[in-house]
Amino acid sequence: MSGLNTNNRVVKWVDHRLPIFTFMKHSLDEYPTPRNLSYFWNFGSLAGITLVIMIVTGILLAMHYTAHVDYAFGSVERIMRDVQFGWLLRYIHMNGASFFFIVVYIHIFRGLYYGSYKSPREVLWALGVIILLLMMATAFLGYTLPWGQMSFWGATVITNLFSAIPLVGQDIVVWLWGGFSVDNPTLNRFFSLHYLLPFLIVGVVVLHLWALHRFGSNNPLGIDAKGPQDKIPFHPYYTIKDVFGLAVFLIFFALFVFYAPNYMGHPDNYIPADPLQTPPHIVPEWYFLPFYAILRAFTQDAIIYWPVSWLMSAKLTGVLAMFGSIIVLFVLPWLDSSPVRSAKFRPIYKQFFWVLVVDVLVLGYVGSQPAEEPWTWIGQIAVVYYFAHFLVILPLLGKLERPKPLPKSISEPVLKGGGMAAGATAKPMEKA
Amino acid sequence: MKKLAIAGLFAALAVAATGAQDKASAAEAGAELPEYHWSFEGIFGTYDRAAAQRGLQVYVEVCASCHGLKYVAFRNLKDIGYSEEEVKAFASQFTVTDGPNDAGQMFDREARPSDRFPEPFANEQAARAANNGAYPPDLSVIAQARAHGPDYLTALLIGYEDPPADMELGAGQYYNKYFPGGQIAMPQLLYEGSVDYADGTEATPEQMAQDVSHFLMWAAEPHLEERKQMGMKVILFLLVFTGLTYALKKKIWKDIH
């Protein structure tokens, strides 16, 4: 840790007792970062900034929101009409949730493509999966708060999933609700938890960054830095690159906030919650659609349910599969047996990666459709493929695939021109 | 940059999936909607004051006997071109219940600009009792609570037809091809000349339906104009900001590549 370059005596005095300035200099300024990061490495900082945007707008909204079944919908309308710039706060918060998921999903698929989950970054990856789970819980809880029709029925459907747990399921559901249906106690605790979880996310993000800074970022080549020539200080190189990325992101974000604020929402949520009237289609927010498709794929007559039909109900199978689709990510570092990180040097994995991307998009589309043919069987195939990718294809690929030769160092291809590796050990690579 | 394009593609696909969701729910909602042109559409969209004022007249004279507008205050009507005095005069034709007074009694008084539109029924039960069991929804956010709100509302209000031969209508039900399921408890209310427009516009059913839909869109999103105007400034700023940061990025990275 190099010394602090300052003549400010106050800074020196504080830093001697609490080396916070040294720490910031070390991890934000001179923090050595691979020189070859692409724009896909912008999404981590974007996710962090989006989290801050969500917390700030959320705290301001909470100052005007009333968590009561009789007043929640009206208090949101009051925010939209009478609170100064309340409409702006709410539209930023609503669309911010969607953009948070867009950013995080790209961040996750970037990690999948470049093998960022592999040794020594398994814990970093697992912390990311925990953040994803916390985000999903937070988004679900938040969607309940306006107390519209989708809020109410979404909360009813999702909490009812826990009734599939054998023996104690029904008791757990009553415990979650705080009563015998989704009602005022449910709304109150959901508001409380919706306010709590983002701060837990901040905590896990700190751990995520701590683990990241232990070994530094992975990079598009997926090889370790060989020396100082492979790295550049974070500031100013990546600070400016992140600010530029943020500016581009904000343009897309602003287009939705100002010109299509309700496009990613569902009109039914502008109907006040009515426990006596079920909407014709209960659909979750778009970012949950792939998981919703997995949940619904396990019906009583589905072929994929038969193998376990002697053991548990179709509903429980669906619930386990839905949670399993994320839990499987925790063990991904051990399922993928290939020592090569980046898909750039894994010609077969690269193709399977894109098939997985398409598979998830198909699942999302199926999740948005009514549970009818042909969507049900397409969904079932997509579910099987999703799990096969992680549990069958990845373990086998590591054994069967012959990776392309790796470049000797990061600085070699970077310095000698776009994507070309030189040196005796490496043949020229294909341009990815 | 190629990779950024791929990232953009992801976002576009995610958005497209949401669009698919829209269509799925629209298909459920009855016949395909005609598309009307609205002055509030597009990035420079604004409400047509005259249309909104005519729509207010339709709401007050036709809809208000059954449908509330409880989140809209009389003072908000200044947004659609009324003066302070006009709003005061308009509010004064309504009676609201206030209180309790010093004697502990509720009392009726003339509405003021700060009051919201009074609700037509004392409670849901009273509304159902007066409407053959049906509960007329509040219209404050109705234009946002239906897919393609203004188009749907316009089509619905003039979408009454004779039912298909094989359809058995329930008691007190009317056939409307735009209503989900086709049976609606609200009868057709807009007929040639149902209102006498103050500005002399000919009150055809289609004209009235469009005007009241225009008004209800304003009622649902009173800050739409402010939003679009602010959006223009924000995006212009961001474009300049993006350009500057890109130039700076190029300059800083010059000796790295």
Per-residue pLDDT tens digits for A322-358: 999 999 999 999 999 999 999 999 999 999 999 999 9
Per-residue pLDDT tens digits for A19-57: 999 999 998 888 999 999 999 999 999 999 999 999 999
Is A242 labeled as catalytic in the residue annotation?
yes
Q: B12 vs chain A: nearest CA distance in angstroms?
A: 10
ipTM: 0.90
Q: Judge whether B227 is closer than 8 Å to chain A, CB to CB.
A: yes
Q: Is residue B153 pLDDT above 90, yes or no?
A: yes
**Which pLDDT score is estimated for A420?**
43
**Which pLDDT score is estimated for B25?**
47
Q: How does residue B23 score in pLDDT terms, banded at 50, 70 and 90?
A: very low
What residues contact A384, with CB distance under 8 A and at least 6 apart? Answer: A304
Average pLDDT of chain B, as a whole number = 89
Q: Tokens 């909490």 map to which residue? A: A159
Q: Which of B3, B20, B235 sits opposite A251 (nearest CB)?
A: B235
**In contact, A414 and A38? CB cutoff 8 Å:** no
B-chain residues near A286 (CB < 8 A) = 14, 17-18, 21
Q: Is residue A423 pLDDT above 80, yes or no?
A: no
Whole-angstrom distance, CA of residue B112 vs CA of residue B59: 19
Record the tokens describing residue B28, joined without a space. 């459920």
Is A213 labeled as catalytic in the residue annotation?
yes
Q: How does residue B20 score in pLDDT terms, banded at 50, 70 and 90?
A: very low
Answer whether B227 sits within 8 Å of A87, measured CB to CB. Answer: yes
Q: Judge whether B231 is closer than 8 Å to chain A, CB to CB.
A: yes
Answer whether B18 sits within 8 Å of A80, measured CB to CB. Answer: no
Q: Judge whether B5 is closer than 8 Å to chain A, CB to CB.
A: no
Cis, peptide link before residue A374, omega less than 30° from 0: yes
Catalytic position from the list A118, A151, A208, A242: A242
Q: Which of A74, A237, A262 sits opposite B144 (nearest CB)?
A: A262
Q: Judge whether B228 is closer than 8 Å to chain A, CB to CB.
A: yes
**Which pLDDT score is estimated for A125?**
98
A-chain residues near B248 (CB < 8 A) = 240, 244
Q: A250 vs chain B: nearest CA distance in angstroms?
A: 7
B-chain residues near A228 (CB < 8 A) = none
What SS3 state is found at B9? helix
Q: Which of A254, A280, A365 sits opposite B235 (nearest CB)?
A: A254
Q: Judge whether A4 is closer than 8 Å to chain B, CB to CB.
A: no
Is A427 labeled as catalytic in the residue annotation?
no
The fraction of chain A above a pLDDT of 70, given in percent, is 95
**Which pLDDT score is estimated for A368?**
93
Q: Which of B11, B43, B249 sits opposite A259 (nearest CB)?
A: B43
**In contact, A62 and A202? CB cutoff 8 Å:** no
* Interface list for B 116-145 with A (CB within 8 A): 137, 140-142, 144-145
Query: Which uninterrupted H or E stretch holds B56?
Result: helix B49-58
Nearest to A387 by CA among A368, A360, A362: A360
Whole-angstrom distance, CA of residue A50 vs CA of residue A246: 10
The fraction of chain B above a pLDDT of 90, given in percent, is 78
A-chain residues near B142 (CB < 8 A) = 270
B-chain residues near A236 (CB < 8 A) = 252
Alpha carbon A240 to its chain's center: 24
* Interface list for A 269-328 with B (CB within 8 A): 270-271, 280-281, 283, 286-287, 289
Answer whether B20 sits within 8 Å of A369, measured CB to CB. Answer: yes
What residues contact A10, with CB distance under 8 A and at least 6 apart? Answer: none
Q: Which of A35, A258, A267 sits opposite B256 (nearest CB)?
A: A35
Cis, peptide link before residue A120, omega less than 30° from 0: yes
Q: How does residue A425 score in pLDDT terms, banded at 50, 70 and 90?
A: very low
DSSP letter for A148, please: B
Q: Judge whether A87 is closer than 8 Å to chain B, CB to CB.
A: yes
Q: How does residue B170 score in pLDDT terms, banded at 50, 70 and 90?
A: confident
Whole-angstrom distance, CA of residue A51 vs CA of residue A323: 23
**In contact, B109 and B39? CB cutoff 8 Å:** no
What residues contact A280, with CB distance under 8 A and at least 6 apart? Answer: B25, B28, B180
* Interface list for A 252-271 with B (CB within 8 A): 252, 254-255, 257-259, 261-264, 266-268, 270-271
Nearest CA in chain A to B227: A258
> What is the average per-residue pLDDT within B73-90?
96
Q: Please give the model's pTM, rounded to 2 decimal places.
A: 0.91
What SS3 state is found at A233? strand
Q: A228 vs chain B: nearest CA distance in angstroms?
A: 13
Nearest CA in chain B to A253: B235
Q: A113 vs chain B: nearest CA distance in angstroms?
A: 12
A-chain residues near B230 (CB < 8 A) = 88, 258
B-chain residues near A77 (CB < 8 A) = 71, 140-141
Catalytic position from the list A26, A213, A235, A350: A213
Q: B171 vs chain A: nearest CA distance in angstroms?
A: 20
Per-residue pLDDT tens digits for A318-328: 999 999 999 99
B-chain residues near A229 (CB < 8 A) = none
**In contact, A295 and A386? CB cutoff 8 Å:** no
Q: Is residue A429 pLDDT above 50, yes or no?
A: no
Average pLDDT of chain A, as a whole number = 92
**In contact, A35 and A241? CB cutoff 8 Å:** no
Whole-angstrom distance, CA of residue A355 vs CA of residue A109: 12
